Amino acid sequence: MDIRRLRWDDVNAAKVRAHGLSPSVVDDMILVGLFEVFRDSTDHPAARRIVIGPTSRERLITLIVEPTETVGTVRPVTAYFSSPKEVRRYLARREQRRGSHREG
């Protein structure tokens, strides 16, 4: 999934704030660009994705997104500080990527 921009509205911004984050912190995570995208294995719409990545302050956050009609733009559903399980998932994916770069 190509993610370059987030489409904020009053509803999703309020959900993010309820978890102690701000839209600007989530935007920062996208700008840092070290995020990983995972399929959402819950009972949510198939196109929904989980995005885990660090902010510029190196704090991992988890962002749930849905696609929009604009390429590169997604709509945040919510975001929150990553759980220990999500941190492990992110680190495992990053390590997997490093390993594949060493082999290639």
Domain-by-domain residue ranges, the chain?
Answer: 5-103
What's the pLDDT tens digit per position in 2-23?
899 999 999 999 999 999 999 9
Q: How far apart are CA 54 and CA 70, in angstroms?
A: 24
The end-to-end CA distance of the chain, in Å, is 23
Q: What is the pLDDT of residue 44?
A: 65
Q: Tokens 């995208």 map to which residue? A: 37
Q: How far apart are CA 46 and CA 42, in angstroms?
A: 9
What's the pLDDT tens digit per position in 41-77?
766 666 789 999 999 999 999 999 999 999 999 999 9
CA dihedral 74, 76, 82, 87 (to 10 degrees): -10
| Reported pTM | 0.89
